[in-house]
Structure 1
Amino acid sequence: MAGKRKTNPAGSSNELRGDVLRVLGVLKVATADQIQRIERPHLSFRHTGKPTPSERKTARTAAHCGALSDLRKHGQSENGGRTKQAETLRNLTLKGLEAAAKALERPMTEMGGTARGTGSSGGTHAMAVNETIIAMLRPKPDLKLLTGEPAEAQAAARAVAGASPGIGTIASYATEIPLPANGTWSAPGKGGAQADIVLTAPQHGVPLLFIEVDNCHETAEELAAKLEKYARFFRRKAKDTDGREKPLWRTRWAVTDAGPDHPYPPVLIVFNHIGARDPNRTVVRLAELTRHLWKGEWDPDGYHCYDQKIPIVATGLRNLRQHGPAGPAFRRFGRPGQQTLLDAIGNPRLDAARARQRAQIKANQEEYQAQLREIRERHAEREARRPACTGCGAKLSDARWKAAQATDWDTPKDTRPHLCDTCSPQAAATEERTAEEQGHREHAAVADAQEADRHQRPEPLPDWAERRHFLRFTRRPVCTQCGAAFTDERWQAVERTGLDVLPQETRPHLCGNCDQWYKVDGEQSWPHMDPLPRQEERDQERDQEQAVPERKPTGWFSRLRR
């Protein structure tokens, strides 16, 4: 503990000294009260039991005053005079500025100067700049650190914590930034401007904002000349690291244009009414003088286009403290009424037009998706009805399906509607081969039938058979015993009916040889029986019977017979 006291006699902590370095690194010059209100706003609601405001301020700033005392011992800060309210102004030395650059994580080239000598005249403008930054920040107290405080203090702290939010952190701000119309960033030439405050808080919708603070000492013409310098700076171009030429301010600050136009960064003018001039009249005159810098062109889609124009916004420090950046405390040149900061530096009509376009695009996309879903459903339904090839199982193509369903009179009917384009030719070839084979088989069968018919066709009848009207056998008979065909003599013999001169054959189903064998077999089997009468004997008996004359009947029966 003794070692720490020797290093930091006031007993300040690293956190408190870091608070001082960060604030003074941005503001360049400030009071202990301002440092405390920015970094430890909850201390403003402590020590409420002190009888006077002076004692309460001394109590709540004691910790940061100790940190300033320790930094002064280390040669990093110094007292820079007093304000008109007799508050001590604190600023950093060059050594402290280097420490602040590390605390803010900024390059030393962007830290600016030490603002030594600012307090010699009371630092009125610097205090207005600081109060503007505090009004833009609107620091919120940590209610957990006020648990043991009186109810009135906690209620006041809750009211502040529940008010409209600010923009950015202390690291989002920078002061006394040169805007060279010629020269370089570190050595700007004449004719350039110097921004009182530069705000970069893209996380809160403010990618880049230049702020000018006026204590109502400057005329409208002087402010217009300063805005002309801003315009010169915005129009200046330089080559970037990629070798392409672009506006100089874009080489230091990254800003993305989200719209069809390319406006310059907005400029906010904050009037602190402590001078003799009326800010209301100054604003009207300034708007007229700078109309060519901020006036946009009307677009048929319902918004103004501010391409290569400077959005100029004006407000009062008192209104800014009361409403904050999220309140209606800002007036945009060329627009009626008061707006929030984001609306004032933006383009609400353009945002509305984009919202309508996005809504229309979304509606079109939804309609398109609905059409796609309907098409997919119809396609799925059609695919479900699409027949499959019975040969390979593949789905039929559209052309094949259409050809298979053709019902026009002039369209030939497909003989194989159940087959695909691949299987149909194969089936046709198979059918052709089958038909060809069938034709060959039929031709062979016809030839075989003709050959068989030729063999089975009866031979021409003999002359004696053609002279007969009735034939027992219309074709040459075959022996039932041996299967041999009859000879002409045997055929003629078996055709006798008994009415001829020769008697009828007793065995007409046998050929001549088999008939002789039949006779021989009979005589050998029954030798005791008389042999069959011979043909000559039968013929003689028949001749004798024919030689006997027929006896004619007599009497009346003969008449009936005739």
Structure 2
Amino acid sequence: MAGKNARWPYGSTAALREDVLRVLGVLKIATGEQIQCLTRPHLTDRHRHDPGRRTKPHRNAALDLALHQLTVSEGATREGRKLWGLTTAGLQAAAQVLDRPLSDMGSTARGAAAHGAAHAMAVNATVQALLQPQPDNAQAAQRREGDQAVLKAAPPGLGRLESIRTEVPLLITGSESAPGHGSPQADLVLRAPEHDLPVAFVQVDRGTVTPARLAQKANSYHAYFTRAGKHSTPWWRQHWHTPAGDPVLLYVFTAHSETAALDRARQTMALLHERDLPFPVLGTLLPRLQQRGPWGDAWWHAARGGNPRPLDEALSFAHDRP
């Protein structure tokens, strides 16, 4: 860590401050541990039993940024972990780090931690489960020999942090400045064309609404996907700059227990099957996604059922409709 100075009294480096801005620019609200895991995963195994030591560099970076009114403490999770968010100026700084237009950054997360930010933490856990953060070559070289086996055993991930946007309004009617009534909000959207996959819209379920209401949300996505744009091109395709391929709707189920999540998943997916939607709808359990990764046997298709499959197989299976 760099020496302390008057401008950055907590001793953070420019790279660590950039880590904080990158993560908060995508997730909007996060703990120091989540920031560390997504940007410097090689530290996780090195200090697995000492999370305070592992996350201190990024916590200091967040404190330094707070002195410049770029980050703000957003309270704590239900487990007591400190949460960080961005100010309006911080959102602008994060847009520069992520090389995104400010119009694509969404809003800050002020007030999101009033009750522990349980939903935001479930979304963040889903992001981590999809990405399965791996050290880059320089980071991997710093790992101890015993940790290399852990690295090799970890499931591969999907996309990069910059591939993701969270809390994305999907306009059925209206405009970016004035969304129409009933427009849904995707918990996260993932674009990973390098994997030859369609744009994925992700709904994270915490068990706070009925399966019927959760399944009903798919109708709003259908309205969004069929909104007409210019020259008879679907509006969503123009917005996400994707030339071909149907979008996919992913449901990630989590609850107070895996049994409860599985029960909700079965009910919801059965209701989705009855709707016979024209785009693929896949579902998984968050613990399963965390353990197996997106390319493991984690997904099943609402209209076809069967055993869980890797994401690419589930999508191929989905298009092979009976």
Q: TM-score, normalised by structure 1?
A: 0.54
| Secondary structure of the corresponding residue to residue 242 of structure 2 | coil
- For the 8 Å contact 1:45–1:157, the answer to whether it is kept is no
Describe the shift of the 1:276–1:33 C-alpha distance in structure 2 as closer, same or farther (beyond 3 A).
Answer: closer
Summarize the Cα distance change of 1:148–1:198 in structure 2 as closer, same or farther, 3 Å threshold: closer
CA distance in 2, matches of 1:248, 1:112: 19
For 1:439, the equivalent position in structure 2 comes to none
Instruction: Tell whether 2:265 aligns with 1:291.
Output: no
Aligned partners of 1:148 and 1:96: how far apart in 2?
A: 31
Equivalent residues of 1:139, 1:166 under 8 A apart: yes
* From 46, 67, 70, the counterpart of 1:76: 70
CA deviations over 1:266-298 (Å, ceiling 9, x no partner): 111101122799333333332343335446xxx
CA contact (8 A) 1:217 1:276 kept: no
2:283 is aligned to 314
CA separation in 2, counterparts of 1:196 and 1:218? 15
Secondary structure in 1 matching 2:178: coil
Tell me, yes or no, if structure 1 residue 212 matches structure 2 residue 212.
no
Q: Which amino acid aligns with 1:268?
A: L
The corresponding residue for 1:342 is 312
Aligned to 1:25: 25
Q: Which runs of 5+ in 1 are unaligned?
A: 296-308, 351-562
Deviations, residues 422-441 of structure 1 (Å, cap 9, x unaligned): xxxxxxxxxxxxxxxxxxxx
Is the 1:30–1:89 contact (alpha carbons within 8 Å) kept by the matching residues of 2? yes
SS at match of 2:237: helix
* Secondary structure in structure 2 of the residue aligned to 1:66: helix
| Amino acid in the other structure paired with 1:127 | M
After the TM superposition, which of the residue ranges 336-345 and 169-178 deviates more from structure 2?
336-345
Q: Which has the larger radius of gyration?
A: 1
Answer yes or no: is the 8 Å Cα contact 1:12–1:66 preserved in 2.
yes
* Residues 225 and 140 of structure 1, relative CA distance in 2, 3 Å threshold: same
Q: Map of 1:40-189 to 2, 5 A cutoff? A: 40-47=40-47, 53=49, 56-142=50-136, 145=139, 154-189=145-180
The one of the two structures with greater contact order (alpha-carbon pairs below 8 A, sep at least 6) is 2
Q: Which has the higher strand share?
A: 2
Structure 1 pair 214–29 and aligned structure 2 pair: CA distance change class (3 A): same
Aligned pairs for 1:135-534 (under 5 A) are 135-142=129-136, 145=139, 154-239=145-230, 244-257=231-244, 263=246, 265-274=247-256, 278-291=260-273, 293-294=275-276, 309-335=278-304, 336-347=306-317
The residue that corresponds to 1:36 in the other structure is 36
Whole-Å separation in 2 of the counterparts to 1:147 and 1:198: 32
Code of the residue aligned with 1:10 in structure 2: it is: Y
Q: Are the aligned partners of 1:216 and 1:273 in contact in 2 as well (CA < 8 Å)?
A: yes
CA distance in structure 2 between the partners assigned to 1:277 and 1:191 by the alignment = 32
Question: What displacement does 1:255 show?
Answer: 2.6
Unaligned runs of 5+ in 2: none
Q: Which aligned segments of 4 or more residues in structure 1 are displaced greater than 4 angstroms?
A: 142-149, 347-350
TM-score under structure 2 length normalisation:
0.92
Identity rate, percent: 39
Contact kept, 8 Å, 1:135 with 1:324, in 2: the verdict is yes
CA contact (8 A) 2:203 2:251 kept: yes
Q: State the 1:338 CA deviation.
A: 1.0
Q: What is the distance in 2 between the residues matched to 1:226 and 1:347? A: 23
* 1:246, distance to aligned residue in structure 2 (A): 1.8
Name the CA distance, whole Å, in 1 between partners of 2:190 and 2:142: 36
Residue deviations 1:507-555 (CA, integer Å, cap 9, x gap): xxxxxxxxxxxxxxxxxxxxxxxxxxxxxxxxxxxxxxxxxxxxxxxxx
Say which SS state the counterpart of residue 295 (structure 2) adopts.
coil
User: CA RMSD for the aligned pairs?
Assistant: 2.4
Distance 1:114 1:161, change over 3 A: farther
In the TM superposition, residue 27 of structure 1 has moved relative to its aligned partner by 0.1
- Count matched residues: 319
Closer/same/farther in 2, CA of residues 84 and 10 from structure 1, 3 Å limit: same
Shift in Å, 1:3: 10
Aligned residue identity for 2:254: N
